[in-house]
Structure 1
Amino acid sequence: MHDSNAKQIYAASSSNESHGAHLQQAVEFQRSQFPTLQAPGLGQANAPIGVFDSGVGGLTILSALRQELPSEDYIYVGDTAHCPYGLRSEAEITQLVLEIGRFLVERGVKLIVVACNAASQAALATLRSTFPVPFVGVVPAVKPAAQLTRKGRIGIIATNQAARSPYLQQLIADFARDLETYTHGCSELVTLVERGELDSPLAEEVVRQALSPVLSKDIDVLVLGCTHFPALRPVIERVAGNNVQVIDSGAAIARRTRSVLEAAALLKPSIKQGKQEAPGHLEVWCSGDPASFREIASRILGHPVVVRQASQLAQTSAAAAREEREE
């Protein structure tokens, strides 16, 4: 019934081609421009926390952060003009996130959470060596999965790029060496979330097809290795069934962020509002269409949000394309 729509989802997820290794030169040039960058939030406890992702998926991490650290202020950036990152080369991802890093640092953040598995794997080290603020990346929940499994068989779903990355293979070698692990790339689930198909018949059809390779292995733990995927949790849990435990890294990343802030004495002093902490301010930006982002973000966060467009971030890949033609 939803065959043609499902095919469109798969086609959209595989339409982006990486620009190639020459982008590394552009990355190095950008980094050379950053040493004089002003970082007004550096060392300031009252400064906001920056959070970014290729799209709306990182809002699942933002939700966990706001639950763990409700008094903090946040600036979120969704790079929807270039989503999904999971189909791009590491060089291109690095180029894109360097621009986002500069955008956030210039807006005075004290710490940045890279709420995207593909960006964390491709560019976290570069971000840390480029900007003066601390960074927290996301790590697929392989270690907890290894501790939870009773059958000794775990499944890991991620974007296409992350699923085949040496980083994920090293995590498996470190924490699940003696287990049967089954990884599968399904960037089509990112496309589902970005289209707002969070719990629909189409979503269930695409999720069922995407999970089939790992569910057929009789796993009992499924790792959501992309921050978009928790937005599909109701559908994923329904398709996986009661005998499969579904886990992600959102709460662990929020706790890690707290510990980094505490160690640097950067926790914002809480203000009581009755018996609860007064919630901090949230500022949301995207590089693509703010209207569609606002609709999906409001559904994921559970309340209306105001979204502004960071149009300068949308120019990054256009510049890269020009450089490629010139070469």
Structure 2
Amino acid sequence: MSDAPLGVFDSGVGGLSVLGDLRRALPGEDLLYLADTAHVPYGARPDGEIRDLTARAVSALHARGVKGVVVACNTASAFSLGDLRSRFDMPVIGLVPAVKPAVLSTRSGVVGVLATPGTMRGTLLADVIREFADPAGVQVLKAVSTELVPLVEAGQADSARAREVLREILTPVAQAGADGLVLGCTHYPFLAGSIRAEFGDTFTLLDSGAAVARHTRRVLEERGLLSARTSGGTEGFLVTGDPARAAPVITELLSRALGPANVQNEGEVHRALPRIERIQT
């Protein structure tokens, strides 16, 4: 048993979608979330720079005494997991795009993957397509954007511009008959409302957050690191950029991921502003 916190890392605020799944799977764990907001987005950065930024962030969490780290970033997972596991004597858990459940659930035989340029370049996505989609004869169509992550980071997941970008890049996927859409970036579950506003029920949306949360619980149990607590876990937040700028977006996305906290204001329930600390990695 261990009451040390579990680290959660993303290039920005998108990993809060995974944090929500981790909280539901691990209600007694303290979660320490690090967003590298000074360097987001990672998707268009060179491969070596992605590995370096990820290693620095995980090192910062390790220095804070975490018992393991969930790399809640598809791009960082695509390039860094092997390197991280060789550096740190603690569990390092990454994300795998949810291609397998998309293949198992498709009726049309066509699925889409919405991801960042970095995830598209990495071998992880290609590996799961080769392992699951190709043997089943399922066609995988890729859609990529450099604009969606910054929109979510700016609190504009439901904006007209987000819907416009999604319409541009996903219309060909819909027209090709895709009935499932893999959200291959942790920012993208926060775009679900915009995707449905543009495409209705065309796509079943799939992400890997719940699966990675279940896997994380298994890993902690197997290594004797699970907290003895069954409830009452807390969340702490670290950012490499401006905390004041990050706070409103983190608060809004936390409310989506976790539900609103019991803070009453003029008849409405809101989540209190989280405490956010700025660090250097």
Amino acid across the alignment from 2:192: R
Residues 64 and 254, structure 1, Cα contact 8 Å, conserved in 2: yes
Residues 33 and 236, structure 2, Cα contact 8 Å, conserved in 1: yes
Residues 156 and 182, structure 1, Cα contact 8 Å, conserved in 2: yes
Match of 2:74 among 112, 117, 122: 117
Residues 78 and 123, structure 2, Cα contact 8 Å, conserved in 1: no
Aligned to 1:82, what secondary structure does the other structure show? coil
Residues 65 and 251, structure 1, Cα contact 8 Å, conserved in 2: yes
- Measured after TM superposition, the shift of residue 203 of structure 1 is 2.1
Amino acid across the alignment from 2:54: V
Amino acid across the alignment from 1:307: I
- Measured after TM superposition, the shift of residue 97 of structure 1 is 1.1
Structure 2 distance, partners of 1:97, 1:203, is: 27
Does residue 1:149 correspond to 2:113, yes or no?
A: no
Post-superposition CA distance 1:19-61 (Å, at most 9, x none): xxxxxxxxxxxxxxxxxxxxxxxxx611000001000001110
Who is 1:286 aligned against? 239
- Residues matched between the structures, number: 263
Does residue 1:238 correspond to 2:197, yes or no?
A: yes
Query: Given the superposition, is the C-alpha separation of residues 164 and 102 from structure 1 closer, same or farther in structure 2, using an over 3 Å criterion?
Result: closer
Structure 2 distance, partners of 1:142, 1:293, is: 31
Residues 156 and 224, structure 1, Cα contact 8 Å, conserved in 2: yes
Structure 2 distance, partners of 1:114, 1:261, is: 15
Match of 2:166 among 204, 207, 215: 207
Who is 1:53 aligned against? 10
- Measured after TM superposition, the shift of residue 201 of structure 1 is 2.1
Structure 1 distance, partners of 2:50, 2:202, is: 36
Aligned to 2:14, what secondary structure does the other structure show? coil
After TM superposition, list the pairs within 5 Å mapping 1:88-237 onto structure 2. Answer: 88-177=45-134, 178-237=137-196
Structure 1 distance, partners of 2:122, 2:200, is: 28
Who is 2:215 aligned against? 256
Aligned to 2:143, what secondary structure does the other structure show? strand
Post-superposition CA distance 1:89-143 (Å, at most 9, x none): 1110111111111111110000100000010010110000001111110110000
- Measured after TM superposition, the shift of residue 145 of structure 1 is 0.3
Structure 1 distance, partners of 2:209, 2:146, is: 19
Structure 1 distance, partners of 2:120, 2:200, is: 23
- Measured after TM superposition, the shift of residue 216 of structure 1 is 2.4
Structure 1 distance, partners of 2:165, 2:243, is: 26
Amino acid across the alignment from 1:243: T
Structure 2 distance, partners of 1:60, 1:54, is: 13
Does residue 1:308 correspond to 2:269, yes or no?
A: no
Residues 157 and 163, structure 1, Cα contact 8 Å, conserved in 2: no
For structure 2, the 5+ residue unaligned runs are 256-270
For structure 1, the 5+ residue unaligned runs are 1-43, 272-276, 314-327
Identity of aligned residues (%): 44
After TM superposition, list the pairs within 5 Å mapping 1:37-52 onto structure 2. Answer: 45-52=2-9
- Measured after TM superposition, the shift of residue 232 of structure 1 is 1.1
Residues 11 and 73, structure 2, Cα contact 8 Å, conserved in 1: yes
Does residue 1:62 correspond to 2:14, yes or no?
A: no
Residues 153 and 180, structure 1, Cα contact 8 Å, conserved in 2: yes
- Measured after TM superposition, the shift of residue 163 of structure 1 is 1.8
Structure 2 distance, partners of 1:181, 1:202, is: 26
Structure 2 distance, partners of 1:98, 1:75, is: 16
Please identify, of 162-171 and 184-193, the stretch whose mean Cα deviation from structure 2 is larger. 162-171
Please identify, of 103-112 and 296-305, the stretch whose mean Cα deviation from structure 2 is larger. 296-305
After TM superposition, list the pairs within 5 Å mapping 1:18-29 onto structure 2. Answer: none
Aligned to 2:218, what secondary structure does the other structure show? helix
Structure 2 distance, partners of 1:225, 1:217, is: 19
Post-superposition CA distance 1:233-258 (Å, at most 9, x none): 11112223213101111100100100
- Measured after TM superposition, the shift of residue 168 of structure 1 is 1.1
- Measured after TM superposition, the shift of residue 162 of structure 1 is 1.0
TM value normalised by structure 1: 0.78
Structure 1 distance, partners of 2:118, 2:32, is: 27
Residues 161 and 185, structure 1, Cα contact 8 Å, conserved in 2: no
Q: Which runs of 4+ in 1 moved over 4 A?
A: none
